[in-house]
Amino acid sequence: MTEVLNNLAFGFSHALTLNNLMYCAIGCTVGTLVGLLPGLGPLATISLLLPLTYSIPTTGALIMLAGIYYGAQYGDSVSAITMKIPHASSIVACIDGYAMTLKGKTGLALFTAGFSSFIGGTVAILVLSFLAPVLGEVAFLFGPADYVAMMLVGFVCVSFVTTGSLLNGLAMCMIGVLLGTIGTDVNSGMARFTMDMPFLTDGVGIVSIALGCFGIAEITKNLDSREERSPFNGKINLIPTWAEFKRIIPSALRGSVVGSFLGILPGGGPTIAQFAAYALDKKVSKYKDEIGTGCIEGVAGQAAADEAAARTSFIPLMSIGIPENAVMALMLAAFIIKGIQPGPNMIASHPELFWGLVASMWIGNVFLLVLNVPLVRYWLSVFKIPYSVLFPSILFFCCIGTYSVNNNLQDVFITAAFGFMGYMFMRLELDAAPLMLGFILGPMLEENFRRAMLLSRGSFGAFVSRPISGTLLGLIAIFVLWQLVAFVLQARRKNGASAPVALEPQE
């Protein structure tokens, strides 16, 4: 304990220099602004700013890039809550966050997201400080069979993520899995389901599906109502009551724990953490019946998990030198540009960089809280524009954001196609969130399943013989059995309630 506190004090002595504070503030501000724009995200921004790291001191450059990453995580939630236009890390925020907007509680939703992000970031920084040298080795314990079991646990979350019937949710999830198979097969290199269209060889981008099924579909639905509307009317209530605070904190702490754990694992990260935290809240929260209809817990848990996972994803990068997602791969490139090789020896070789970066994350956390919570009213005032003027601007940024990912015009047409699909899903009362879950988990499940089968030479015993996968599969079996029993009991109660009552003959 004393050693960690000394190390943090050492890190703050480097992070609190004027230059590093400036780079941290720039990173958080740019990240938040980038997150607000539909389709853009930390990946595109960091890739554009990567050449600037040549002219910036090492610690300052890495602090700025890290600030862009976790700053964008909060900015993502703003567009999801206010306009139902998500990024990959804010898909779940559309469910309850946008529902709160429609109820006139946009300010409360944004404050909840900002405050919960602060809690999630703080918990993750503590995990990063105390357990980074140890938890970095956790990734080595997971084999392909274990990742398959973890992905199956994610599919079990469908019953919690969907706001409609379970059958519809499973069907949408399977559609997402099928969409994830489009593109080049990782093992054989063969093109699958591309219909001889070259631009589909790389698969369908998650940005296209997210913007289409949520953003463009919502715009089309609003235009179809033929009403002049703006999501923000009347007084903006920003500060929650004490009763609402007491609902935010437990959910944010649960999300922080889930996000901190999933951020460590390769293949985890903010995208999956938000689904897991939402599913957990929908199961254990005192207000679980309200989640999905515009509930504070539905915003708080996923926001905390999103921010926590964004920070703990630095653990495998800095402790074992393995990036767990595309953003971390760019961060690895930034380390290498500066002549630093992340890995087990990084803490000993560059303690000022490691602990300075950890300390800057907490400083950035405070910057985000101070920057975003007072500015919520200004964010909302920007969107207090007549919808007839607002929606063309939203569509413009959707197109720009989609195009900027690969600089490919075909992606814009794909986004438009998914916009039409998303509108049809809304008309049919089908929820698009399970589709996104299936699209994210499907390719990872397939890749790890095939890898596990190759290593075990076709034996399914590998999935039950390994302790981690065996335990996870056992928990899945118990959960499925429990759900079946609950379904049967519920059906019997309904049948008993609807049975006709026999009338006694009158004399």
Residue 451 main-chain phi, psi, to 5 deg: -65, -40
Euclidean distance between CA atoms 489 and 482, whole angstroms: 11
List for the chain the helix, strand, coil content (%; round to 5): 75, 0, 25
DSSP assigned state of 288: T
Q: Please check the confidence at residue 227 and state whether its pLDDT lies above 60.
A: no
Euclidean distance between CA atoms 496 and 236, whole angstroms: 47
Q: Please check the confidence at residue 101 and state whether its pLDDT lies above 80.
A: yes
Euclidean distance between CA atoms 86 and 456, whole angstroms: 39
Which segment, 41-45, 52-56, 87-91, 263-267, is predicted with the most confidence on average? Answer: 52-56
Euclidean distance between CA atoms 408 and 271, whole angstroms: 24
Which segment, 90-99, 372-381, 389-398, is predicted with the most confidence on average? Answer: 90-99
404-434 pLDDT tens trace: 767 788 888 888 898 899 888 888 888 777 8
Structure confidence at residue 280 (pLDDT): 85
pLDDT band at 392 (very low <50, low <70, confident <90, very high): confident
Dihedral (CA of 106, 109, 112, 113) sign: negative
Query: What H or E segment, with its residue span, contains residue 458?
Result: none
194-224 pLDDT tens trace: 888 887 888 888 778 877 887 788 778 777 7
The helix-helix angle for 2-15 and 351-372 (nearest 10°) equals 70
pLDDT band at 234 (very low <50, low <70, confident <90, very high): very low
Query: What H or E segment, with its residue span, contains residue 382?
Result: helix 376-382
168-204 pLDDT tens trace: 888 888 888 898 888 888 777 788 888 888 878 888 8
Average pLDDT value for residue range 137-149: 75
Structure confidence at residue 253 (pLDDT): 92
Mean pLDDT of the chain: 78
**If DSSP states are collapsed to H, E and C, what string results for 53-98?**
HHHCCHHHHHHHHHHHHHHHHHHHHHHHHHHCCCCHHHCCHHHHHH
Residue 170 tokens read as: 């499973």
Between 376 and 339, residue with greater pLDDT: 339
Euclidean distance between CA atoms 236 and 255, whole angstroms: 26
- Residue 92 is which amino acid? V
51-55, 300-304, 448-452, 475-479: least confident range: 51-55
Structure confidence at residue 158 (pLDDT): 66
Q: Please check the confidence at residue 333 and state whether its pLDDT lies above 80.
A: no
Residue 183 main-chain phi, psi, to 5 deg: 125, -160
> DSSP assignment of 105-172, as one string?
-HHHHHHHHHHHHHHHHHHHHHHHHHHHHHHTTHHHH--HHHHHHHHHHHHHTHHHH-SS-HHHHHHH
Euclidean distance between CA atoms 422 and 22, whole angstroms: 42
Looking from the CA of 78 toward its CB, the CA atoms found within 13 Å total 27
Average pLDDT value for residue range 276-302: 84
Q: What is the pTM of this model?
A: 0.70
pLDDT band at 147 (very low <50, low <70, confident <90, very high): confident
Q: Please check the confidence at residue 229 and state whether its pLDDT lies above 60.
A: no
